[in-house]
Each structure stands twice: as structure tokens, then as C-alpha cells.
A = this chain, B = another copy of it.
């Protein structure tokens, strides 16, 4: 079991279904591949009280890491830092390091002709107003810095909602911290396809293989019901080395494949056997 992480996504556009939550998916995949266990994803609106409540609830569950996405920009509805400050009972203040990062960005934009002159208007300064005790994280591809706040045993990291900015700050400033913490944990997964056996008939076979392979998690996903049952069976494990992880999964795949064939089904490997 890896160290626990929770993801909090802020944005009305997610709650009206305007956009798919690709940020949560990307972060879940990356954190899992780095050996962490994602315990929960929470999506709330651009509302200070909602953000504060979700942050407080998450902190109470004491994960090692909380990552928020969205709400760091210059507009009135970018309220994530105000919500976090409220949850932590800290003030928002202009962080000098963050202010330097933001100023530098606008100097570059002026040089590139995107803006006429460097004017640090209130919406621009807003991006440098962080909860007391925060550390800004450089944004290599956008304007608003990420934010790093230590709260007891939890590291709280706020990232922008624009995917390219979120991913860039994660890779540059968050992944290295996780790698240092997590040590050599490896996540390994593999899928096979089972045909000619119904999910309800497969269920007791999976039960048996999971009892015999205690570190491997197996889950079936029905892919089509129309004519004949077609199921994806997904195996995963977390281990200290790639070899151990692969050996465990391969053993479980072999056992379940035999059982499925004994029960009249057929097994087909999935091409994208992968380690992430």
C-alpha cells in the first residue's frame, strides 16, 4: 500500500459537465505510477466555502499529499487559495517570491509584444497572494505559480486548472518530492480479455485467484453484452521491484486463464501489456 493522496478539483465547468475531468485522471495515473494510492477525488464549485470544507475534510483524513487543481488564475472566480486560507485559518498575503515570478512573466509578455507595458494590476497581483507560510512553485508554461503548503504531516499542493500548466508544475516540482518519499515502489498492471464466459460465472474464479495471490488485485470490466459476453480482466499490484510485481501478476494471470478455459471460456492477451 503506497502513501495516500487525495485530489480536489475546483471548477463549475466540471460540475455542469462542460468539460471532462482529465486533470483528475492524469494525476491519478501519475501518482499511482509513482507508487502512491489515490484514496479520493472530490470535485467542488468555485466557491470559497465549498473549497474550504473539502480541504478541511481531506486534511482530517490525514493523507500524505493533497493536490488541488484549478482556481489559481487572475479572475474573480479563481478562489482556490482563498478557500485553502479559510480552511487553514491563515491570511492571504502577497508572497514576495511569487510576486517576483509573476512580475517576470509580465516582463516577458511585454518583451514579446503580448502586452504594451508591464502593469501589475490587482488581478495580476492576485496570483501572488498566497496563504501565509506557502512556497510558490514555478510555472514553466503559464503565469500563475503553483503553491506548496505544509500542514502537519500533509503536503498540500495547489496547481492550476490548465492541463499543460498543471502537468508541467507537477513534473518539475511535485514528482521529485513523491519519488523521494515513496522510495522504490512500482505499480504494475496487465489486462487480458475473456470471451464466452459471463461476468457472474467469472466472479467465483476471480475470488479464488485473489485468495491464492494475496498481493494482486483483479477486477473484471464488462465490455459488451450484446451477443456474447466479452470481459476485460485487469490485474494490478504494487511492489518494491519491477521483477516482483511482474512475477506476481503473471502468476495470477496464468492461474485465472486456466480456470477460465476449464469453464468453457477463452482468453486473449491485451496488446498493451504495460508498466506505468
- Interface residues in A5-54 (C-beta closer than 8 Å to B): 12-22, 24-32, 37-46, 50, 54
Give the contacting residue for A17; candidates B18, B27, B201; CB below 8 A.
B27
Contact A12–B75 (Cβ < 8 Å): no
**Binary flags per residue of A76-98, CB closer than 8 Å to B gives 1, else 0:** 11000000000000000000000
Contact B21–A17 (Cβ < 8 Å): no
Q: Indicate the member of A115, A162, A203 with the most B CB atoms within 10 Å.
A: A203
Interface of chain A, main secondary structure: mixed
Q: In the complex, which residues of chain B have a beta carbon less than 8 angstroms from the beta carbon of A217?
A: 12
Contact A76–B12 (Cβ < 8 Å): no
Give the contacting residue for A45; candidates B39, B75, B123; CB below 8 A.
B39
Interface size on A, residues (CB 8 A): 72
Q: Is A220 an interface residue (CB 8 A)?
A: yes
Q: In the complex, which residues of chain B have a beta carbon less than 8 angstroms from the beta carbon of A13?
A: 219, 221, 234
* Closest chain B CB from A64 CB (angstroms): 15
Contact A44–B38 (Cβ < 8 Å): no
Contact A219–B12 (Cβ < 8 Å): yes
Q: Is A141 an interface residue (CB 8 A)?
A: yes
* Closest chain B CB from A147 CB (angstroms): 18
Q: Is A131 an interface residue (CB 8 A)?
A: no
Q: Is A68 an interface residue (CB 8 A)?
A: no
Q: Is A66 an interface residue (CB 8 A)?
A: no
Q: Which of A151-159, A173-181, A204-212, A246-254 lines the interface with chain B?
A: A204-212
Q: Which residues of A contact B (CB under 8 A)?
A: 12-22, 24-32, 37-46, 50, 54, 57, 73-77, 109, 114-115, 121-124, 127, 141-143, 162, 187, 189, 198-204, 206-207, 210, 217, 219-222, 225, 228-229, 234, 236
